[in-house]
Amino acid sequence: MEREHMEQIVEEIKVSGSLEQFGVLVEALQQPIFTYCYHMLGHRQEAEDAVQEVLIKAYEHLEKYNRSVSFSAWVYKIAYHHCLNLIKRKKLHQLILFWKKDEAIQEHHQAAVRLDQEPISEPLHQALSILSPEERNLVILRVIEEKGYEELAALFHTNSAALRKKYERAIKKCKRQILSQKGGEANEAYRAIR
């Protein structure tokens, strides 16, 4: 579909909210966005789910779209950020699973349900122990509680960019602590957080 035709449909949807018209855009974008998500995520089912979520986000936030970029480029940007968030969550989930020694959690991928019931593993405990209380709080809220930067910024009365930098520094300290530990657990932990 040509850009001008797509832009015209977008403007009509902004006025009418027509799901039928949005369906025309979905038909044009679904396969290319699926291909993109598949390459980003590496799994068919995750890509299929991501496409649906991306297109829903595009519809819900259509009023934020402006014509400075093409509509398809705007949707690709949404897909990019959505896939990055999924990858980050997946990486954090794998890291938490590693840190948790309970095999049942690893086999059943139920870290979120059982996390509060299990003690933290020794590598995680040692890594957290070298952090200041503020850094430890930030890492726990971000990694274990899965709080977003905006929410944490409001909580810490700072901006999200500064908070993200503090978080990155704290994670580097944790990585260094894990690397200083000897044995297979340290090697696995480092691979999990890289």
State which residues form the domain around 173. Answer: 120-193
Q: Tell whether 183 is covered by a domain.
A: yes
What is the CATH classification number for the domain harbouring 30? 1.10.1740.10
Same domain, 81 and 142: no
Q: Residue 148 above 60 pLDDT? A: yes
Q: Residue 117 above 50 pLDDT? A: no
**Helices 71-99/184-193 angle, 10° precision:** 170
Chain segment 49-73, per-residue pLDDT in tens: 999 999 999 999 999 998 888 888 8
Mean pLDDT of 166-182: 85
Domain edge (last residue) among 87, 111, 138: 87
Residue 115, pLDDT score:
40
Mean pLDDT of 92-107: 57
- Number of structural domains (the chain) is 2
Q: Tell whether 144 is covered by a domain.
A: yes
Same domain, 9 and 77: yes
pTM assigned to the model: 0.51
3-state secondary structure 105-165: HHHHCCHHHHHHHCCCCHHHHHHHHCCCHHHHHHHHHHHHCCCCHHHHHHHHCCCHHHHHH
Residue 184, pLDDT score:
56
The H or E element spanning position 77 is: helix 71-99
Q: Tell whether 165 is covered by a domain.
A: yes
Q: Are 34 and 47 in contact (CB under 8 A)?
A: yes
